Amino acid sequence: MELNLEETYYQAILAKDSAYEGTFITAVKTTGIFCRPTCRARKPKRENVTFFKNTKDAILSGYRPCKVCNPLERLDETPEFIKTLLNELAADPSIKFKDWDLRQRGIQPSQIRRWFLKNHGMTFQAYQRAFRINSAFKKIQQGEPVTSVAFDSGFESLSGFGDSFKAIFGSSPRNSKHSAIIDLTRLETPLGTMFACATAEGICLLEFSDRKMLETELKAIAKYLNATILQGENRHFDSLRTQLTEYFEGKRTDFSLQIHPLGTDFQQAVWTALQEIPYGTTSTYRRQAARLNRTEAVRAVGNANGMNRISILIPCHRVVGTDGSLTGYGGGLWRKKWLLEHEQKHLTTK
């Protein structure tokens, strides 16, 4: 490993820079432990640090994992006990897990509250309520009576259901015919947590949770469709989870998912052209512009590329600079590098 790169890595651990998560592992010679770049433990002196590409190399060199940052775990991975609760909620949205129910399972309500606030921006109780309202909304749209939907969804009174519904949609359940929902879910990948949104037509957003423009993108798709984004299940999510897992395992080179990209005609054309770049290869903005017979619009093509909200499925990571250098990527250049190397590696094994 080049010395200047090691210095970059050392500065990254001093700054606890999350942009380097997944890029390298820090090993401390004096303690014999290895950490992720954002570890909160006291930072060692430069001469006592060495770096590895992954946890496997660190373990084979005799180092053991840090108990503070748990480098063997995926970053922000959902704990198993929360996965169990979410699976039960997905199977029956009318379920209401109260603090007493959580304690019966050996779960501290404060613990689950902190996790949901950090990863979803709301409490577990608010998450459950949003999930119930999502399910209820879809039943009403299908013509089911409001009264039966309210009680079947776990609400104890029509007024309570109406108030919760109006707080989210701005209208009563009976006046919601012209309202619309965009379903939202959280996914975990080897490169970190992602959020996905879907409509009945397909996946309309897939982004890493630490993308700086994520909140802006969510507002944009909600405005574009005049819809409310709400936690809930969608028939496209199961296929997305399966195919993303296969992609990251190197078993899938193309996706057969329905997608619903939202943008201008020009942006749509740029995104379609991105999907024509073969797995394991790269293109340039200039080549993409030529593919569209718009050789004068290289900058516009680059801007449209950056406006892609469906990462990986629409592979904007396959576009590089004319000189082959990595250029901007909303998920972070380290992820772009990982994705390109991943595809090139598995392309050679096909």
State the DSSP H helix or E strand holding residue 184, giving kind and residue range, or none if neither. strand 181-189
Pick left, alpha or beta for residue 180 (phi over 0 → left; psi -120 to 50 → alpha; otherwise beta).
Answer: beta
Whether the pLDDT of residue 238 is over 90: the answer is yes
Helix H, strand E, coil C: the string for 59-104 is HHCCCEECCCCCCCCCCCCCCHHHHHHHHHHHHCCCCCCCHHHHHH
Is pLDDT at 273 greater than 90 in this prediction?
yes
Residue 316 is a catalytic residue? yes
Give residue 218's pLDDT.
92
User: Which run of H or E residues covers position 167?
Assistant: helix 158-169
Neighbouring residues of 151: CB distance < 8 A, sequence distance ≥ 6: none
pTM: 0.73
Q: Is the pLDDT of residue 269 over 90?
A: yes
From the list 186, 179, 188, the residue with the least C-alpha distance to 74 is 188
Q: What is the pLDDT of residues 111-124, one digit of tens each?
A: 888 888 888 888 89
Q: Please determine whether the domains at 80-179 and 265-347 fall in the same fold group of CATH.
A: yes
Report pLDDT for 76.
Answer: 64
Confidence of residue 348 (pLDDT cuts 50, 70, 90): low
Confidence of residue 350 (pLDDT cuts 50, 70, 90): low
Q: d(Cα 42, Cα 287) in Å, to the nearest integer?
A: 48
Q: Provide the b/e sequence for 26-54 (b: ≥16 CB within 10 Å).
A: bbbeeeebbbbbbbeeebbeeeebbbbee
The pair of structure tokens assigned to 311 is 């990462």
Residue 1 has pLDDT above 60, yes or no: no
d(CA 346, CA 166): 50
Please give the Cα distance from 35 to 33 (Å, whole number).
7
Architecture of domain 3-65: 3-Layer(aba) Sandwich (3.40)
- Can you give the pLDDT at residue 157? 77
Homologous superfamily assigned to 80-179: Homeodomain-like (1.10.10.60)
CATH of domain 265-347: 1.10.10.10
CA distance 36 to 3: 19
Note the pLDDT of residue 277. Answer: 94
Summarize pLDDT for 125-184 with one digit per residue, the tens.
Answer: 888 888 888 888 888 777 788 888 778 777 777 887 778 887 777 767 776 676 788 999
Sign of the alpha-carbon torsion through 292, 293, 295, 300: negative
Q: Residue 61: which residues within 8 A CB-CB, separation 6 or more?
A: 27, 52
Question: Residue 74 has what pLDDT?
Answer: 64
Q: Identify the pLDDT of residue 349.
A: 59
pLDDT at 2: 46
**Residue ranges per structural domain of the chain:** 3-65, 80-179, 185-243, 265-347
Q: What's the mean per-residue pLDDT of the chain?
A: 86
State the pLDDT at residue 196: 96
Q: Which of 66, 69, 204, 316 is catalytic?
A: 316
Is it the case that residue 314 has pLDDT exceeding 90? yes
pLDDT for position 158: 81
